[in-house]
Structure 1
Amino acid sequence: MPRVPAAATESYAIAMHGAPALPPDFSHLPYANPDAPKGGRLVQSPREGTFDSLNPLIVRGLAVQQVRGYAYERGYIYESLMVRNNDEPFTLYGLLARSVETDDARSYVTFRIDPRARFSDGQPVTADDVLFSLALLRDHGRPAHHQYYSKVAKAEALDPLTVRFDFGGVADRELPLILGLMPILPRHATDPATFEQTTLAPPIGSGPYRVTAVAPGSSVTFTRNPDYWGRDLPVNRGLWNFDEIRLDYYRDANSQFEAFKRGLYDVRTEPEPLRWHDGYDFPAVKSGDVIRDTVKIGTPQPSEFLVFNSRRPKFADVRVRQALAMLFDFEWINRNYYFGLYARAGGYFAGSELSAYGRPADERERELLKPYLSHIPPDILEGRYRLPVTDGSGRDRATLRRALALLSEAGYALDGTMLKQKSTGTPLRIEILVTTREHERIALAYQRDLKRAGIDAAVRVVDAVQFEQRRLAYDFDMIPNRWDQSLSPGNEQWFYWGSQGADVQGTRNYMGAKDPAIDAMITALLAAREQPAFVSAVRALDRALMSGFYAIPLFNMREQWIARWNRIERPSTMALTGYLPETWWQKPVVQSK
């Protein structure tokens, strides 16, 4: 029988696939402690480096991201119409919007704003603010905003608290959720003429905190708004427990870690296995004043890559990229640098059901990839492909011979100890751009491997500001990068590897991928209605990405390493996505008698 479209209904939540996991009368998110005490201060150090802007919604500047929030963490200042439940792949529940409505085809979406919603200056949040935010971000925001919000064919206010978006036949089932996550800015306090300029002026939002102090480049202080409109909402119960949150910035990773050891900030996410293995032997750890938590996550494992800029002619041939990937000696680096704590996978959704690495393509995948089989090597399609494994000696001759054979096919040959293009005699020279000591160490080890193949590789260390500027402008040969993936990849995949973003500065398509197979698989995953079809589409995308050899997989982070001073407490249950600082609180001080 033909599928009968369901009637449009107003709902408290919306899921990308299937139904919301939480009932309409849920009292709090499953990973929050509704009885968490309020008060105290949390000091964090988000990253080494600096900042020069409080506007994370534009390309220009190094912004304080917590104003808006990261992929899974909520923003302190700007809120959206709806928010994620981080225990589901992609389901949104009401925040500024008390309800959402869409039809079976998801050809439109309507949001009804909670009449209690207020900005921090006391002004109400209205449908006009939502329409203003859409137009402002579409025309002046980051490239991803333009890409997403340009799909709205018509936006209108049905009344002061109701806004409707029509999509004009665009086949994108994720778009209602993308709009649900759009940050809402106050029209009355935002100047479109200066929006694209960096600023340290405290922004006005509807969120739980306000910016109350800024030390340019070194710290930002957020103070909890005592009149925050949404403090009693189920999605907020047990969250936003600190009266004050301060972000302190340090110029380099070593000084940042030394500051943590001295107790200058409270919680640290440790990115380096060497430090996690033998760096936490200072007195506060031994006494129990600092607690170490190892957190297993249920999302695709964050993976580090060394990315080729395929816009550069030297990397235009996929055989060159594949050969250079062979020369990376993961086994030597993992044993000598990381105590064997890391693993790695060939794809971009490691450790999840979405990964195609080591899995044969199912019938749905094969059907999706059928027009593009010339792009997909048989071993990747059949799940036989594995990353090269060296003998771990740092001098694996067999791997070197295979890499040189591929480079010969691509038109290169050894001339003495230098690898040169056969037709022009031009040496193959590469610059690896890095900004952290850890990435420098990996790059130097890789430089040694490349030298054995006659390749002249220079490791260029720059500060965080210059690295970001060159990365955004695609002014590099190779850079390290990490793409964090969810269990519900969607429109952001265009931003990561879609052809349209390859030549637009500010996207995350750092490798410059322009592949019709990739574009088609992104379209397919966005069109999928049911989970099995969605999983097949994502795996097909993974195969297309692996086939391009756009980046060298460095390692997968199979767990999160969190250290905290014991004055900070966390819920006993962690979210599927792991560490969420908005759910933590300060340990109450016991008064002595």
Structure 2
Amino acid sequence: MRIFLLCSLLFSYLLAQTYSDSAFSANGEVKYKNFTSFDYVNPNAPKGGHIKQYALGSYDSFYDFLLKGTSAKGLSLLYDTLMVRSFDEPSSQYGLVAKQVQRAEDNTFVIFHLDENAHFNNGKEVTAFDVEFSFNTIARGENPSMVRYYADVKEVIVVDKYTVRFNFHNPNNRELALILGDLPILPKHYYENTILSENPLKLPLGSGPYKIESFEAGRSVTYRRIDNYWAKNHKTRVGYFNFDKITFDYYKDDAVALEAFKSGRYDYREESSAKNWAVGYEGIALKNQDIQKIELLHSLPSGMQGFVFNLRKNVFKDRRVREALGLAFDFEWSNKNLFFNQYSRTKSFFDNSEFASVGIPLGAELAILEPYRSKLPPEVFTQSFSLPKSKGDGNNRENLKKAQALLKDAGFIIKNGKLYPPTTQSNTKEQPFTFELLLVSPAMERVAIPFQKNLQTLGITMKIRIVDVSQYINQLRQFDYDMIVSVFPQSLSPGNEQAFFWGSKAADSAGSYNYIGIQNEVVDALIAKIIQAKDYQELLNSTRALDRVLLWEHYVIPHFHTKTFRVAFWDFLEHPAITPIYNVGFETWWVNPSKLEKLQMKYPSLRR
């Protein structure tokens, strides 16, 4: 009895050393206190309608946390998470399956108290045992990327049926509570005797707003809204999930997909191609305003898209070589002739955010970098990073001359118009500088071809190969490529994902996002500082320092970005008056049935 009493007193003392609320933010206070719905929804949005969206390629799995396979679109509709994020705040979460969260003042643990009303879509209630099972399945499963993502979580403990506690290895990881809040909840009773990697198309069961109604493996998947969804009146769900059915149809080619959209085969499209946006939607439906095109300003960090070097290949290990190849990409010409001047050059891994480095490092940022001065390019401390520019007239001569000088300095020589790398112990045969650019999007080929021609001027042969989505994903997972085009998206509050992108431990781990193969102790140290930042200012300075190092190492040849969402849709779709600044918010749109009926008379393909 005395031992039990002492344990109870100790547990009560530990709980006293916590922050307790139904919402929290990593960077200050939450926006929404006493609220009934988020500002960017229509609480009275009508329910109904069957809408179609599109996806490219194919799929062979309903589980996006597995190491193998290509997962279907829309799977997030199936599962609730412990907490949910708002679309108009950078780093706030509000309770969903967890009605309350307690965070230790010293960040050594977090406790989630579950909503007793939460239940899966077969009627069984959600318990702490399901949360424990979900964590062990996802965070301790076969996918090394997931294992690393949750590595700072020491253990999960079921306190009681509706209370679950996570203890942390690393109390300096300020993002852990947010990461756990995003955890999708799987039903233990449904999955515990299933080896999902052997049955990846087993119909999923969740507690979310939709279930899979039907599918044709690799070609389409249809989700149906749950009428008795347990959280349909929850304040974080009001105004969301208004469509009765959502179908994703798969297309092998984006050009074919665009034509299908224009003919009414599907209803909504976020456009990534500047050429398509400028001229691709022309036709009767657009002329009659039956198709709407809108651009929505956003405040999202651009992230980094670019030509990505694979440093596992010897020819790209020299920084001078990477810089030289970057000089051969003529953005100004491409923007003018290919993109209708719609894009801005991406100058930072955190462009369009205050995390982007500017000028030369000063003050606290300089203090962070100073201990690593001898291990960094000297330009990090003396120059403001800038990308090469041209007049956009197709004459990139000055930049190519600089590239030739860099390659010569790196020991490369020209023979009969071909560039040859320096002879080393690992490279005793004379082979000209040749590499392959692996692409999955045919639309990117037109960006690559002018780059290819400029490289030919330098004596470098770049072969271009386009493969289908499944093959591309498999080659990415095995790092089987010389160069790719990739995107490294950035969150509104940089943290653990940086280790996925640039960390040494991820470089040799199949399935990681360290496509570049970076193994740099300074980068590792800066990632640790970001993850362990004690406050927002330290996070800001550490992220800017990392950005500066990544840029000066010339790990990628930066591409371009736009500061708007480019959205095309058939005119029977409607959306709230307020668009959130961090998301299109398509989950809050709805169908206008009278508009749909009129359009279906004109375009029979819109009938479902």
Fold in common (TM above 0.5)? yes
Matched, 1:551 2:556: yes
Tell me how far apart the structure 2 counterparts of residues 482 and 303 of structure 1 sit (CA, whole Å): 6
Task: Say which one has the larger Rg.
Answer: 2
> Which residue number corresponds to residue 351 of structure 1?
352
Q: Which of 483, 486, 496 is the matching residue for 2:488? A: 483
Please state if 1:49 is matched with 2:57: yes
Q: Is 1:329–1:390's contact at 8 Å kept on the other side of the alignment?
A: yes
| Separation in 1, partners of 2:149, 2:59 | 27
Unaligned runs of 5+ in 1: 1-5, 68-74
1:433 pairs with 2:434:
no
Pair 1:499-2:504 in alignment: yes
Q: Which amino acid aligns with 1:21?
A: K
The alignment partner of 1:284 has SS state of helix
Residue in structure 2 matching 1:61, options 55, 69, 78: 69
Q: What are the ranges of 5 or more consecutive residues in structure 2 without an aligned counterpart?
A: 1-15, 599-608
CA distance in 2, matches of 1:169, 1:524: 12
Mapping 1:445-460, distance limit 5 Å: 445-460=450-465
**Percent of counterpart pairs with the same letter?**
36
Q: Does residue 31 of structure 2 align to residue 31 of structure 1?
A: no
Residues 49 and 591 in structure 2, CA contact (< 8 A), matched pair in contact too: yes
Report deviation, 1:430.
Answer: 0.9
| Superposed counterparts of 1:334-413, under 5 Å | 334-356=335-357, 358-381=358-381, 384-413=384-413
Aligned to 1:94: 95
User: Separation in 2 of the partners of 1:509 and 1:454?
Assistant: 29
Aligned residue for 1:140, secondary structure, equals coil
1:17 aligns with 27
**What secondary structure, in the 3-state scheme, does the structure 2 residue paired with 1:440 have?**
helix
Instruction: Note the alpha carbon deviations across 1:451-483, whole angstroms, 9 max, x for none.
Output: 000001111111111111111110000000112
* Mean Cα deviation higher: 479-488 or 381-390: 381-390
Shift of 1:558: 2.1
Q: Is the 8 A contact 2:225 2:244 kept in 1?
A: yes
**Range with bigger deviation, 136-145 or 208-217:** 136-145
Cross-structure match for 2:6? none
Which moved further from structure 2: 465-474 or 299-308? 299-308
Q: Where does residue 418 of structure 2 map in the other structure?
A: 418
Matched ranges for 1:68-83 at <5 A? 75-83=76-84
The CA deviation at 1:158 is: 1.1
Check conservation: 1:521, 1:537, Cα contact below 8 A. Answer: yes
SS at match of 1:294: strand
2:272 pairs with 1:267: no
Is 1:140–1:196's contact at 8 Å kept on the other side of the alignment? no
Work out whether 1:190 is the aligned partner of 2:191.
yes
Q: Does 1:319 align with 2:327?
A: no
TM-fit CA distance, 1:141 = 4.7
Instruction: Quote the Cα distance in structure 1 between the aligned partners of 2:180 and 2:52.
Output: 32
Cα shift readout 1:395-421 (whole Å, capped 9, x = no counterpart): 322111111111112221111200002
Q: CA deviation at 1:169?
A: 4.4
The Cα of 1:292 is off from its aligned counterpart by: 0.8
How far apart, in 1, do the equivalents of 2:488 and 2:521 lie? 21
Give the 5 Å matches for 1:94-113: 94-113=95-114
2:156 aligned partner: 155
Match of 2:9 in 1: none
> Matched residues in 2 for 1:193 and 1:473: separation?
27
Deviation at 1:345, TM superposition (A): 2.4
The residue matched to 2:140 in structure 1 has which SS?
helix
Partner of 1:172: 173
1: CA distance between counterparts of 2:193 and 2:489?
31
Secondary structure in 2 matching 1:374: helix
Over 3 Å counting, the alpha-carbon distance change for 1:584 and 1:111 in structure 2 is same
- SS of residue in 1 equivalent to 2:153: coil
How far is the alpha carbon of 1:506 from its aligned partner? 0.8
TM-score scaled by structure 2? 0.92
- Contact preservation (8 Å) 1:10, 1:99: yes
Contact 2:304 2:348 in 1 (8 A): no
Paired positions, count: 578
Partner Cα distance (1:428, 1:198) in 2: 44
Q: Distance between the aligned counterparts of 1:382 and 1:559, measured in 2? A: 34
Match of 1:72 in 2: none
Instruction: Please tell me the residue identity of whatever aligns with 2:388.
Output: P
Distance in structure 2 (CA, Å) of the matches to 1:139 and 1:542:
30
Change (3 A) 1:370 1:584: same
Kindly state the Cα deviation for residue 545 of structure 1 after the two structures are TM-superposed: 1.1
In the alignment, which residue of structure 1 is the partner of 2:605?
none
Q: Which residue of structure 1 aligns with residue 200 of structure 2?
A: 199
